[in-house]
Amino acid sequence: MSLRWSVGSTVFVVVSLLVAAVPTEARSLYGAAPASLRFDGGGEGLLRGGTAERVVSLQNQGEEATTFAISLEGDAGHWLSVASDMVTVPGKTTHPLAITVSVPETAANGVYEALVRITPAVASHDAEGGASSTIVQEILVPIKVHVTDTQSLRLTMTRISVPDLEVGGKLFVELDATNDGNVAAAPQVNAIVHDETRTQQLAMVSGRAGGLAPQTSGRLMADLGTLTLPVGTYSIRLLASLPDGEVSGGGPRDLYFDVLPEGTLAMSFADIAVAFGDGKAKKGDLVPIRITFTNTGLSPAVVGFKGLISRDGQPFETFSIEAIETATGATQTLEGFWRAEKTGDYGLTGALTIGPKRVETAPSTLEVPVKKDSPAPAALSLVVALAALVFVARRRGSL
């Protein structure tokens, strides 16, 4: 479920999660891509004691949700890890499975092998519609891990930009980069701010961007702090560097940014998607809550979530997800977990937050469909309501 919302509008998103487990006809409609993985640090090997991550897309082309069992095997199987050894993928969708390798400090140089075994269990009825059987269709993803003792720390900058800010706001630098090395890289940004004509130096600022995993690309954001500058246009000379490493395209670069009156930069978000679990839950389950959104505003934002969980219509527990930095144009996912301790009908009412600000909303009235023939008396019927309001952030400096 997704939607787009604009300034000043209030939007409610309701996601119903059904509990019933429906038998799925056995078909050869499951797969994984890519079919194999190699952790090799871009050909130079992974550093001993280092970590790296790759993503496999689990494909379910069937009509019904399917649960996959994940097992990690082989000589280097104990180096691998996944978030959960059971993953449910809805019908006609793909699900990203992140596989992390952690190389022991004691590992010798060389190439090691492992195997990810993905087993979807599909229940199907026989020809006469009588007894059912379980057909197992295993998906095997071979993995090779190249280990070395030589560190390679290299970044390539493909884009550097400085978003405009409001009076009293924070100065951010956005870095689009590729980590060409075999260890995580967190570039340092040093900058000098001048007036528009570059005749007067006004400030020297610096900050460190978040880390980028080896052999990946992404957008990093460095917080250079709050500036006390009046409305106007300013010049900035900046340099992105790596201690003990090399940066291609990191500058020095001369750019411009504007300081705007308070209230100029509206915060706006689009493509909101809410997921409360994966469609099934039972008493005692740890239920994931995920909120995905895109920052369509004109400036970076620090976005979180605060809400209230109700049981059988009665609020009883607060719930929040820690805020994360979100660059302009970036899509992020807020993720938290909540344990269902008792049976009942559950709902979640809440709001996205920007910095310390919160959009207060009254609890929504929800019609919760509960099936009379629920197959398990301990099953939970879960409903999510997200109340999200786009508004103008009055002080960027408070983010």
Predicted pLDDT of residue 17: 33
Dihedral pair phi/psi, residue 200, rounded to 5°? -130, 125
Whether residue 272 is found in the same domain as residue 386: yes
Number of folded domains that form the chain: 3
> Which two tokens mark 247?
């940066």
3-state secondary structure of 289: strand
In terms of C-beta density within 10 A (0-12 exposed, 13-18 middle, 19 or more buried), how is residue 128 classed?
exposed
Name the band, by pLDDT with cuts 50, 70 and 90, for residue 4.
very low
CA-based max dimension of the chain:
87
Dihedral pair phi/psi, residue 343, rounded to 5°? -75, 155
Q: What is the CATH number of the domain that holds 55?
A: 2.60.40.2310
Whether residue 294 is found in the same domain as residue 393: yes
Predicted pLDDT of residue 169: 85
Whether residue 62 is found in the same domain as residue 182: no
Whether residue 357 is found in the same domain as residue 242: no
Looking at 124, 148, 172, which one is the last position of a domain? Answer: 148
Predicted pLDDT of residue 27: 45
- Determine how β-strand 269-276 pairs with β-strand 286-295: antiparallel
Whether residue 365 is found in the same domain as residue 338: yes
Predicted pLDDT of residue 328: 78
> Which two tokens mark 48?
């001993």
For residues 161 and 249, is the Cβ–Cβ distance under 8 A? no
Q: What is the CATH number of the domain that holds 333?
A: 2.60.40.10
Residue bearing the bigger pLDDT, 382 or 31: 31
- Distance separating alpha carbons of residues 224 and 204, to the nearest angstrom: 9
pTM: 0.48
Q: Which of 253, 154, 240, 242 is closest to 190 using CA atoms?
A: 240
- Distance separating alpha carbons of residues 273 and 90, to the nearest angstrom: 15
Range of the domain at 197: 154-260
pLDDT digits (tens, 9 = 90+) for 68-111: 999 999 999 999 999 888 998 888 888 889 999 999 988 888 89
pLDDT digits (tens, 9 = 90+) for 262-281: 777 766 777 667 666 655 66
How is 88-131 classified by DSSP, letter by letter? EE-TTEEEEEEEEEE--TTPPSEEEEEEEEEEEEEEEE-TTS-S
Residue bearing the bigger pLDDT, 328 or 383: 328
Identify whether 306 is part of a domain: yes
Per-residue pLDDT for 392 more than 70? no
Percentage with pLDDT > 90 across the chain: 21
pLDDT digits (tens, 9 = 90+) for 109-153: 889 999 999 998 765 444 445 444 445 578 999 999 988 877 778
